[in-house]
Structure 1
């Protein structure tokens, strides 16, 4: 037994030696491999590049990593400026598995966000986002898009919808707006009924002439007051000589002059026949469509056309109901004859009002939740409830008329009250912004280990200026690196958007005793769409200690 042990002992020694040598070689290699793997996959190159501005949209998005990724796990999405995916296609992976390619449809002018979340070959998740721009897209609309001061180059004065509390001057302006809006719908509506019923109901013509004259007088007075007060408010603090420039050289002023001209010639149009009446009504409503919120939205042709249909339907309903009420109190028999024609037209006009109103709301608002952010949304909800009541009253009136009965006075009066309330609400909410006002981000956080300031201006989807200031204790020194990231709270699955910061010399006096300051800034389209965001500041000191601060904000 001992002889066997002595014979095999050299074999074990040689085996142990070779194992030791193998371990000595393998250990550093394993350490190197682990060090490489700990870095995981990194995005080395992308097409388009972050922040790139392109004349035409790319055929595909390409992401190139430093190591293989699993193409069947994770996702790549390209989002438009309303955070909606532009394609449902799956990414393609070439043979080396180090890159991914997502084919794209033809992209129109706009800002696009590439958001990726993939898994590297070693099983670690890799995520991120960046923005590229196609063409020269206009700034995303917010409350400022509906500011007449901005449109005529007189920013900073504030409009009659700009204050948080209602002032006496604003009350007067809203009252004039209600008078103007009611007169416009009445005059246009009576003119339409005149054109549509001329020669068919001779007994109705004296009533149409009488109320047409009332409507024209109200329209002329209302338009004069509206244009004068609006011009006065816009030109506050400016010489009287500039009033002519406003009315003659700006689109807003030219629209107001057109309204005044149409109101003045309306008296003559009443005697010029049906065709002239229809043309005048179409011109009046078309000009008013250019005077509203629809003209500030894109695509302008679609929104203005929808607003024209909305006004046309409202005019038919307001003019017809006013005439029916007048007949009810003045000539009950003629009211009975007119009721069937009005009932048919009213049903169609209210349906068009609802459909065009929904269409305009879709264009005005990025999402239905915006109805709860502004007074405009609140008024729209109230108006919608009133329109629903109008539909119920209309059904009851229609059933009564179809049975050959006279319209019931109680229902007519209720319809008239609802009409008056809707006109008041419509006149007010067409003069205030449907979108909330964006406020620049100006956040400062004090702390024992770090102070930080983040500024984002103007805080709108699109191009913004980003400023980051960091103060560290003197014994820590200036930071080794500072990063600013934007994370979408509405799309938590999207990776962070890294803002490329550059140091700059700051001349603001904002020193803190015992701290040293470092300042950075950037400018570009790194805030791609409206929503809830988190600004994340990551600061690495010279000892590689990381400090992180986060601040939530939102834009519209």
Structure 2
């Protein structure tokens, strides 16, 4: 939000300190600054000065003596929701250096490798979980078990999952601040809470190791696969939503339903291959109602949970009115899901008519489309989404005195608030002030003086600098020393293009 020295400023003398002010508290141990001279040579690298609070929106760095020339500042911090954020700007001392460094590399992160790693690993996890669970249900109905239809490739799949999870950690680690793990191992274990994705990957790695323990009961492996399919639900946008716990429920159902859908398709493909190789007959007429019932439940849950997820995360109106890349991905995902349903209906009707499964190529296409849906889902979890902006209208009470408050848009930025203030003993207030704060993050702003309009209401512009839950305090001072105070500590402000 603010830098000292400011961008493009030419200071007469070497500045003793560098100050960076952000719109939210920054973890000091995860903030670094590097200053480059006009030859792109680093002349200073360090963390904020010690002695301040662990989290503060203001970072201050003591600088060495800087000679005349142009300098580029590159800063790296971590936001409250665990996203690494970086940027750079230039200033000069004395006179600008001709051809001085304008910027340095690394101002943005490339999400491509992480999306690829997540897609492969999460796709294999969902596929493996669904296949294991459906195979178990099929075995209980005396259909061929997985041990019969799929003997090879299990160890390769397990090794790929372990290796893929490690690659996910390594890929994500390249975007994290330098020295993060060293700081954590030096005693700041609480910092890991700021990185939900890291915690998710560690949990995933642990459950994978538990899954590979040989000789356990069948229930152990069923439970481990269930956990593996659920864990990816904790690594997306869910932590930036107003009610994360509520938002997790449809996400978990969505994950499990997709896993079961893909696993059932994979089981049928394996069953067809096994039948051809072994030249054995399968009671397809008996298998059809068992398979179709499970698929109807799974596909229905995918659709219902998907609609609920969009409603909780952004809202269908926002998806359309604030169209962006995330909206396009959602549209493609919906189209592909409808395509899968059409293919499933075609196969079911043909299966019922012929009393024998004869659409092995079609089911492979449906299965591949399902994998593409997973790719899109992972991509969406790494992409900014349109936020549903709500208005705020409430009546707050202080004893018998009630104040009507209205804010048109609860989103980050400057937002105008209108207040209808009551009279006390027939008197209008002499002064109305408003303060806003985020107690959980130690942030506060104001008080701001509200101006009286011709309508008799009071208006004030509030600078909501970040998304999250805010506290609102309105104080009205009346003649004679009377004072009324209205408070609301649960105002959720959305971000603009959340990640």
**Map 1:534-549 → 2, pairs under 5 A:** none
Task: Show the counterpart of 1:396.
Answer: 346
Give the conservation status (yes or no) of the 8 Å contact 2:229–2:259. no
Structure 2 CA distance for aligned equivalents of residues 172 and 246 of structure 1: 27
Task: Show the counterpart of 1:179.
Answer: 120
Following TM superposition, where does structure 1 have runs of at least 4 consecutive aligned residues deviating by more than 6 angstroms? 525-529
Task: Show the counterpart of 2:204.
Answer: 259
Give the conservation status (yes or no) of the 8 Å contact 2:113–2:171. no
Task: Show the counterpart of 2:365.
Answer: 414
Task: Show the counterpart of 2:395.
Answer: none
Q: Structure 1: state its 5+ residue gaps.
A: 1-147, 159-166, 439-458, 468-498, 503-520, 530-553
Structure 1 CA distance for aligned equivalents of residues 466 and 157 of structure 2: 49
Instruction: State the Cα distance separating 1:331 from its structure 2 match.
Output: 2.6
Give the conservation status (yes or no) of the 8 Å contact 1:176–1:225. yes
Task: Show the counterpart of 1:226.
Answer: 168
Change (3 A) 1:426 1:466: closer
Structure 1 CA distance for aligned equivalents of residues 136 and 312 of structure 2: 32
Give the conservation status (yes or no) of the 8 Å contact 2:265–2:367. yes
Instruction: State the Cα distance separating 1:216 from its structure 2 match.
Output: 2.7
**Map 1:52-67 → 2, pairs under 5 A:** none
Task: Show the counterpart of 2:337.
Answer: 387
**Map 1:365-376 → 2, pairs under 5 A:** 365-371=314-320, 373-376=323-326
**Map 1:280-299 → 2, pairs under 5 A:** 280-299=224-243
Task: Show the counterpart of 2:375.
Answer: 424
For residue 157 of structure 1, give the secondary structure of its aligned residue in structure 2: strand
Structure 2 CA distance for aligned equivalents of residues 188 and 400 of structure 1: 28
Change (3 A) 1:526 1:318: closer
Instruction: State the Cα distance separating 1:363 from its structure 2 match.
Output: 0.5
Instruction: State the Cα distance separating 1:432 from its structure 2 match.
Output: 1.7
TM-score by length of 1: 0.48
Change (3 A) 1:214 1:247: farther
Structure 1 CA distance for aligned equivalents of residues 85 and 465 of structure 2: 27
> For structure 1, which segment, 371-380 or 205-214, has the greater mean C-alpha deviation from structure 2 after superposition?
205-214
Give the conservation status (yes or no) of the 8 Å contact 2:318–2:387. no
Give the conservation status (yes or no) of the 8 Å contact 1:317–1:350. yes
Q: Structure 2: state its 5+ residue gaps.
A: 1-76, 88-107, 390-407, 417-447, 452-459, 469-494
> For structure 1, which segment, 425-434 or 350-359, has the greater mean C-alpha deviation from structure 2 after superposition?
425-434
Structure 2 CA distance for aligned equivalents of residues 527 and 241 of structure 1: 29
Instruction: State the Cα distance separating 1:190 from its structure 2 match.
Output: 2.2
Task: Show the counterpart of 1:405.
Answer: 356
**Map 1:461-472 → 2, pairs under 5 A:** 461=410, 464=413
For residue 383 of structure 2, give the secondary structure of its aligned residue in structure 1: coil
| 2:192 is the counterpart of 1:249 | yes
**Map 1:19-418 → 2, pairs under 5 A:** 149-151=78-80, 155-157=84-86, 169-199=110-140, 200-210=142-152, 212-235=154-177, 237-238=178-179, 240-242=181-183, 244=185, 249-250=192-193, 252=196, 253-268=198-213, 271-332=215-276, 333=280, 337=284, 340-371=289-320, 373-403=323-353, 404-418=355-369
Change (3 A) 1:437 1:369: closer
Give the conservation status (yes or no) of the 8 Å contact 1:211–1:323. no
Change (3 A) 1:399 1:194: same
RMSD across aligned positions (CA):
4.0
Instruction: State the Cα distance separating 1:391 from its structure 2 match.
Output: 0.5
For residue 331 of structure 1, give the secondary structure of its aligned residue in structure 2: helix
Q: How many residues align?
A: 308
Give the conservation status (yes or no) of the 8 Å contact 1:194–1:205. no
Instruction: State the Cα distance separating 1:149 from its structure 2 match.
Output: 4.2
Give the conservation status (yes or no) of the 8 Å contact 1:185–1:314. yes
Task: Show the counterpart of 2:57.
Answer: none
Change (3 A) 1:367 1:316: closer
Change (3 A) 1:406 1:198: closer
Structure 2 CA distance for aligned equivalents of residues 389 and 182 of structure 1: 19
TM-score by length of 2: 0.53
Give the conservation status (yes or no) of the 8 Å contact 1:247–1:257. no
Structure 1 CA distance for aligned equivalents of residues 364 and 292 of structure 2: 15
Structure 1 CA distance for aligned equivalents of residues 251 and 467 of structure 2: 29
Instruction: State the Cα distance separating 1:217 from its structure 2 match.
Output: 3.0
Give the conservation status (yes or no) of the 8 Å contact 1:294–1:304. yes
